[in-house]
Amino acid sequence: MRIMPLEKRGISNSRVVYGCMGIGGEWNSTPYTKEDIIIAEKAVEAALSIGITMFDHADIYRKGKSESIFGEILKKRPDLRDQIILQSKCGIRPSDGVLPTRFDFSKSHIISSVDGILQRLGVEHLDILLLHRPDPLMEPEEISEAFNQLRSAGKVRHFGVSNMSSAQIRFIQNSLPEPLVVNQLEMSLARLDWLDQGISVNQKAGLDTNFADGIMEHCQMQDIQIQAWGPLANGKFSGSSLDDAPETVRQTTALVQQLADKYETKPESIVLGWLMKHPARIQPVIGTSSAERIVACKDAVRVAESLTREEWYTLYTSSRGQEMP
């Protein structure tokens, strides 16, 4: 399998990322509990046990509690910090009941956000900081000033984006002295527009496909690591109830299980392996808090290397519910 962009840059060789959105208790201001800490510890241990050494956060996850609870784990295991890559995101300002949810890439907000992230995690620096969602009011020169200040202060080593098109990436990159290293997008066997966009060129069906044109190619050409959030599709093909599921999901779930039996693994590894077989060297960000489901992902790399072209297309065709154009 080809080397990932982050590995090329000497940043990380973790083929899968553990996304920490699921740990930290409820999505409110209620403090997390001892039970929440136990769940988080088991999840992190499960991730480490299958070779995951990269952990993804965002300042808004569980209202900051995801980072805080991870900080508790690092306090108990101070040696762990040097063994992992820490990534977090900023730029979303949730509604406070008076002001609406908005995006903020101002210099002051980026810098203050990072200070809060570092405090909650209890660390001196982030390996990677991502801008969470495109801010219509963003000014690349101001973003560059924030990044330069954070890098000079030793608070962030690398920068990237999330949910952005190739045009937006180029717009920001034009003012930056260092390359953006990550773009995080929703991608899975259930979310296929990133593939449909490409095969629908010169097809009427392409008019209904809403995915940033050229983003896959741009990231590959610029060695920007594509990270997939939601890669397990909330368990749609690996354990979720099929009671009200459409025929395409039932059929695809059956195919996933057949391949899991063939490759002597779990459905989760098939779903991730299918995604990782793409030549963009996609890096899935798994977000389950279940230690059992995390361990079920352990064979994803092996599956990605073993799936045949025919098996890959069979899964793709089944999930999209129609033949290739």
Instruction: Return d(Cα 137, Cα 134) in angstroms, integer.
Output: 9
Is 61 catalytic? The answer is: yes
Q: Cα angle at 121 between 42 and 13, to 5 degrees?
A: 70
Quick one: DSSP state of residue 3?
P
Closest by CA to 22, choosing from 293, 225, 283, 271, is 293
Other residues' Cβ atoms within 10 Å of the Cβ of residue 100: 9
Residues in the chain: 325
Q: Distance (Å, rounded) from C-alpha 33 to C-alpha 94?
A: 23
Q: CA-based angle 158:161:166, to the nearest 5?
A: 120
Residues 6+ apart with CB under 8 A from 129: 87, 88, 89, 90, 114, 150, 156, 158, 159, 160
Q: Looking at residue 191, what DSSP letter applies? A: -
Burial of 261 (0-12, 13-18, 19+ CB in 10 A): exposed
Nearest CA-CA partner of 217 in 187, 246, 195: 195
**Is residue 36 a contact partner of residue 84, using CB atoms and an 8 Å limit?**
no
Strand duo 85-90 + 54-56: pairing: parallel
Of 18, 32, 61, 316, the catalytic one is: 61
201 backbone dihedrals φ, ψ, rounded to 5°:
-60, 130
Which of the residues are catalytic? 61
